[in-house]
Every structure is written in C-alpha cells, then in structure tokens.
C-alpha cells in the first residue's frame, strides 16, 4: 500500500518506510506515549524505546519497529480503496486478512490489514492500521520478523494498536528540538512541518497551526543539505543549481545573484520573480545558502508579489536567527 505525501515546497516530506515496533511480552505500557514531534501515539509494549530515526518506537536487536505516519484527513478514502490484495502484491506483500476496527469514540473509521512479505530472505508479517481521526489519518504499520513472533504475539500487537491516540497539537519547542540547528526567531510564522534531523517549514497558513496552506502563501523552508561547492568560484553556479530544485515554480526569472555573509559564514543570495504552479499567482522568491563544513543550509522564502514588502524582513529575521546546535 503506497503512502501519500503532500508537500507545499521542495518535496518537503520524503516517502516514509512503514514499519511498527512492538515490545517483548503481551503486557503493554499503561499510558500512551507520543514520540517527540508526532501527533500520533500509542502505548507500546514494555521494552521499546523511542526511535531517533523516525516517528515511532524500535527494538533494533529484534529488527522490529513502529513508525507512525500522519496524513491529511482526506487520505483515508484513498487508502481504504487501495488496501487490497492486488495493491499489496505490487508492494511485495501477500494479503492475508482485512477487518474493520472500532478503537475509540474519537475514531469514525478504522481498518486493519495483515499480510506477509519476504525481505532479503527474512520472512516478515505486516500489520497495517489505517485510522480516521477528525483532523488527520493515522497510518501505522507493523513489520515483524518470524524469528521475533514468540516475543511479540498477536495479543501484544493488537493491544498496542488498540491504544492508538492523537493529540491536538505538538508544542513548538518539541518540534524544533528535532532539528540539527536552532531556530531563534519564528517572525510570526507557524510551524507547518518538520523533517526530523533535516528541515522545518514555517508559514502563514490560513488554517489551523501545523496545517500547510497554499504553495503561494507566505512561507520559508530551512533545511540542512549535505555537500557544498568545492571552490569559492563555484558558489554562484552551485546556488543556481540548488535554486532550480525548488518545486512549484514556473516562469522563473532570477533578478539577483550575489555572495553574502550570513551568521558570520560565507553564503549566497538569489532573488527571483516567478509564477506558482498554476501560473495564476505572481511570486517573489529568495534563496539563501549558508556554507560550512560538509553541509550547507538552504533557506527558501516564497511570497506573493504584493506581499513581498512585508514578507522579506520576516524571512531575514528567521534567517538571522538560525544557529548551529
């Protein structure tokens, strides 16, 4: 079953591997735990630890993991249609059963699919739970090697899945703690999304906090990217190549490209005029690159042309508030 990823800029969220961790024994933890930055949580069986690599829990010694993915509320209908034997077969999973679940009063719909898969000659049982909450769709997948099933019986899996819960919001401080850099100034923006260890999206979403708006809404992406130009003379061309990867733009016309010191480090600035993907909205875009070591910071701010005068100082405030941890 394919995952769904919805991003307003630069392919902000990469496709997630869907796996679920369960701990030793059939007795689950008494309280729901929310991995840092995740709106989705559950009560994991004893022995699990919070993963540093994904939203979930893991038992690396037994190659068992829980990854919990938050999708838009409307994703449930698509997943409900695609969770069938033919679709699973395309993903290399042999379908076993599917059942409707009733997990809690806050859930309007939920279903569980169980199947089998062989990965690198390791036989695995998969449990895929899809649950519809009012504000989001929760997608939780169990990947359990046959060799670990004695420690993780069906009763333990079902007990953990039955505890699935969603919290309304994630504190800003908790989300920002997942980044490899400090964000000292939000400049009035809200956090629209976090890629742990990699990037943050800040924006002026029209909806509730944490909900990305239109790609033409005022927003800025800050990301750590490995690599960088080998020579100072290569920075302009490098910056232009990096700018070319920004998604959702058309009719791009670069109006300025120059070196710039950012936070005491060498950097580069590009400013451009563009249109949104539909061609209807005129946009102004700024990209700042901040070089250092084996990686660089890429900061991309986008605003409608008529909002640029107010947006640009806010983008600069965010830029100047970024510091390494």
Stronger pLDDT, 49 or 99, i.e. the higher one = 99
If you count them, how many residues does the chain have?
325
Give the residue ranges of DSSP H helices in 45-204: 75-82, 85-90, 154-162, 172-176
pLDDT at 13 > cutoff 80? no
Ordered by start, the domain boundaries in the chain are 40-166, 172-324
pLDDT the model gives residue 29: 41
Q: Which of 26-30, 280-284, 286-290, 303-307 has the lowest mean pLDDT?
A: 26-30
- The answer to whether 305 and 283 are in contact (CB under 8 A) is yes
Residue 223, pLDDT > 80, answer yes
pLDDT beyond 50 at 213: no
Mean pLDDT of the chain: 85
Question: CATH topology of 40-166 equal to that of 172-324?
Answer: yes
Q: Are strands 56-59 and 282-292 parallel, antiparallel or unpaired?
A: unpaired
Determine the Cα–Cα distance for residues 53 and 198; give it in Å rounded to an integer.
11
Rounded average pLDDT over 5-16: 34
Domain 172-324 homologous superfamily, CATH:
Mog1/PsbP, alpha/beta/alpha sandwich (3.40.1000.10)
CATH code linked to domain 40-166: 3.40.1000.10
Question: What is the pLDDT, as a whole number, of residue 166?
Answer: 92
* Residue 214: per-residue pLDDT: 53
189 sits in the region (left: phi over 0; alpha: psi -120 to 50; else beta) called beta
């Amino acid at each position: 079953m394919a995952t769904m990823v919805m991003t307003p800029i630069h392919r902000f969220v990469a496709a997630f591997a869907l796996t679920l961790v369960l701990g030793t024994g059939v007795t689950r933890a008494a309280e729901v735990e929310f991995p840092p930055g995740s709106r989705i949580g559950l009560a994991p069986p004893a022995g699990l630890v919070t993963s540093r690599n994904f939203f979930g829990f893991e038992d690396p010694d037994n190659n068992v993991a829980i990854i919990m993915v938050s999708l838009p509320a409307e994703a449930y209908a698509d997943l409900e249609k695609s969770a069938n034997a033919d679709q699973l077969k395309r993903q290399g999973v042999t379908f076993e059963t599917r059942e409707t679940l009733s997990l809690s009063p806050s859930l309007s719909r939920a279903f569980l699919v169980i199947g089998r898969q062989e990965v690198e000659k390791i036989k695995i049982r998969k449990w895929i739970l899809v649950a519809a909450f009012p504000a989001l769709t929760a997608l939780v997948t169990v990947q359990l090697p046959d060799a670990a099933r004695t420690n993780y019986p069906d009763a333990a899996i079902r007990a953990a899945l039955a505890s699935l819960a969603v919290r309304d919001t994630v504190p800003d401080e908790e989300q920002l703690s997942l980044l490899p850099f400090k964000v000292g100034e939000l400049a009035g923006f809200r956090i629209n999304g976090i890629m742990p260890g990699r990037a943050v999206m800040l924006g002026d979403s029209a909806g509730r906090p944490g909900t990305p708006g239109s790609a033409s809404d005022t927003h800025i992406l800050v990301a750590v990217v490995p690599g960088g130009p080998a020579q100072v003379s290569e920075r302009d061309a490098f910056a232009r190549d990096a700018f070319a990867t920004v998604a959702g733009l058309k009719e791009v016309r670069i109006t300025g490209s120059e070196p710039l010191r950012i936070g005491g480090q060498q950097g580069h600035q590009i400013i451009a005029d563009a249109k949104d993907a539909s061609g209807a909205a005129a946009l102004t875009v700024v990209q700042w690159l901040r070089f250092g070591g084996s990686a660089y910071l890429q900061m991309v701010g986008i605003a409608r042309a008529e909002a640029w005068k107010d947006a640009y100082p806010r983008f600069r405030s965010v830029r100047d508030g970024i510091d390494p941890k």
